Amino acid sequence: MHNFELYGYGESVASNMARVALAEKKITYKYNVIYLESKGEHLTKEYQSLNPKTFVPTLIDNGKPIPDSIDIMRHIDNLFPETGERLFPSDTSQKIQLENILEEVSLSEDKELGSTFGTVCGGVSMEVLANLLCKRPLLSVIWDYATKHPDRGRAPKFILVRLLGKPPTALYKKFVLNLANHILTIEDFLSHKKDFMLGETYSAADCCMASLLHRINEVRFGSLLESDKLPNLKKYWKIISNRPSYKEGIIDYQTGEWAPEIEKLYGNGPNTYNDLLWSEINKLLKEK
């Protein structure tokens, strides 16, 4: 008998990945919200004792903490291989292929922000993160991130963004251009015309993709997911966002903190850099 608890945040890419996986495996759990930038709850000693890197999500299985969204997926799939979808295939060549895809679509802290599809989706969230950080007094943000955030790569970025009140424009533009590149790679990858990343079978890669594409839509780059210029992506998004796990793992857990910040940034329209994104995509499509 397993007693599961999950620590996560609603609008967190990695938490969404883990919750989609839990939904696909039909696992129920007690849920604890950890407010990130707006309150800094992940930087408390109590949370750090569960997740030394202070990231969300963390799964607790009978009292044992399991940090990291991909490790959570591996853990639950090993425990219950026969329940719900098999997230990690047993076939050797599929296994290798999945590990290669996960390098691109996981939210790895070891990769430079923006260098993979996973981390670029973190990058384009930065305008919203800046607004949330600005809900807190400058000095308490500096103190928390300088003294309590163990990731020496990330902490200074959060402080800089809080100081400026937004990500540096050149950096955000770089993320947008990288996003154009990664999206075309995914579009090519999906040219196998099958339903899932690995082809016929659903896998952990699809849990990640559901969360990443949701983020793209959330920060108002959603025209990417509806365009006939990217037909494979359009079809894939329809399949993945119509699965019950999309609602059960992502939509049902939103805190509501992001929606007003997104409206402040973009009103009712697309992301401010949507034209830049599309001009890069059109350029890359022409070069093909």
Ligand X SMILES: N[C@@H](CCC(=O)N[C@@H](CS)C(=O)NCC(=O)O)C(=O)O
**At closest approach, how far in Å is the CB of 182 from ligand X?**
17
Backbone φ, ψ for residue 267 (5° rounding): 60, -135
Q: Which of residues 55-74 bind ligand X (CB under 6 A)?
A: 55-57, 68-70
Interaction of residue 216 with ligand X, rule CB under 6 A: no
Q: How far apart (Å, rounded) are the C-alpha atoms in residues 11 and 50?
A: 20
Interaction of residue 107 with ligand X, rule CB under 6 A: yes
Q: Which residue, 141 or 184, is less far from ligand X as judged by CB?
A: 141
State the number of binding residues for ligand X (CB under 6 A). 17
Q: Which residue, 70 or 281, is less far from ligand X as judged by CB?
A: 70
Helix then strand then coil, % of the chain, to nearest 5 = 60, 5, 35
Interaction of residue 23 with ligand X, rule CB under 6 A: no
Please say whether the beta carbons of 165 and 135 come within 8 A: no
> Which residues share a beta bridge with 6?
31, 59
Find the part of the chain contacting ligand X (CB under 6 A) among 50-58, 83-91, 131-139, 238-246: 50-58
Q: Which residue, 162 or 182, is less far from ligand X as judged by CB?
A: 162
Q: How far apart (Å, rounded) are the C-alpha atoms in residues 253 and 247?
A: 9
> Which residues share a beta bridge with 8?
33
Provide CB contacts within 8 A for 113, sequence distance 6+: 119, 120, 122, 123, 157, 175
Interaction of residue 12 with ligand X, rule CB under 6 A: yes
Q: Which residue, 56 or 98, is less far from ligand X as judged by CB?
A: 56
Q: What single-letter amino acid sits at 38?
A: S
95, 111, 154, 194: residue in contact with ligand X (rule CB under 6 A): 154
Q: Which residue, 70 or 230, is less far from ligand X as judged by CB?
A: 70
State the residues that interact with ligand X by CB under 6 A. 12-14, 36, 42, 55-57, 68-70, 106-109, 149, 154
